[in-house]
Structure 1
Amino acid sequence: MLKTFSLGGIHPPENKFSAGQKIESMPIPSQVTIPVGQHIGAPAAAVVKKGDTVKVGTLLAKAAGFVSANIHSPVSGTVFKIDKVADASGLKKESIIINVEGDEWEESIDRSSDLVTEINMAPQDIVKRIADCGIVGLGGATFPAHVKLSVPTGKTCDVLILNAVECEPYLTSDHQLMMEKGEEIMVGTSILMAALKVDRAVIGIENNKKDAIDHLTNLASKYPGIQIEALKVQYPQGGEKQLIDACIKRQIPSGKLPIEVGAVVQNVGTTFAVYEAVQKNKPLFERIVTVTGKSVSKPSNFLARVGTPISQLIDQAGGLPADTEKVIGGGPMMGKAIVSTDAPITKGSSGILIVKGEEAKREKMQPCIKCSKCISVCPMGLEPYLLMTVSQKAIWDRAEEEQIMDCIECGSCSYTCPSTRPLLDYIRLGKGKVGQIMRSRTK
Structure 2
Amino acid sequence: MSFGERAYAEWINGHPEVLTSVIPLLVMGLGTPQVAPSATLALKDLTRDCQNCMGPFAHHILQASQDALRCNQLKLSECVRLMYTVGRVLAVLPMESIMNYLNQMLMPYVEELHVLINTVTKLAILSRLKMLSMLFATLDVQGEGDISRFPQPVFLVLQRILPVIQAIVHVWCSDAQVIEVVCSVLKNAVATLLDQSLPLVADMTQILVKSYQLQPHPAALDLARQFVIMYGRNKSHMKLMQSLLCELSSITLHMTAPPHCQNISEYSDILEAFFNLLAQVLKKNAELLASAESLELEKLFQFGILALSVPEALTVKASSSFLVNFISQSTELALLFSVVQSNGESLTLRILRNIGGESPRSALEPLADLLLTMNKKHCDSLSQWLHTTICSEPQPLPRSTVSQRELFVKMVLRERANKRKLQETVREFSLICRGLVGTEYAARLSSYF
> Fold-level match, TM-score > 0.5?
no
Q: Could you state the TM-score of these two structures normalised by the residue count of structure 1?
A: 0.27
Q: Could you state the TM-score of these two structures normalised by the residue count of structure 2?
A: 0.27
User: Which structure would you say has the larger RCO, counting Cα contacts within 8 Å and 6 or more residues apart?
Assistant: 1
Structure number having the greater helix percentage = 2
Structure number having the greater strand percentage = 1
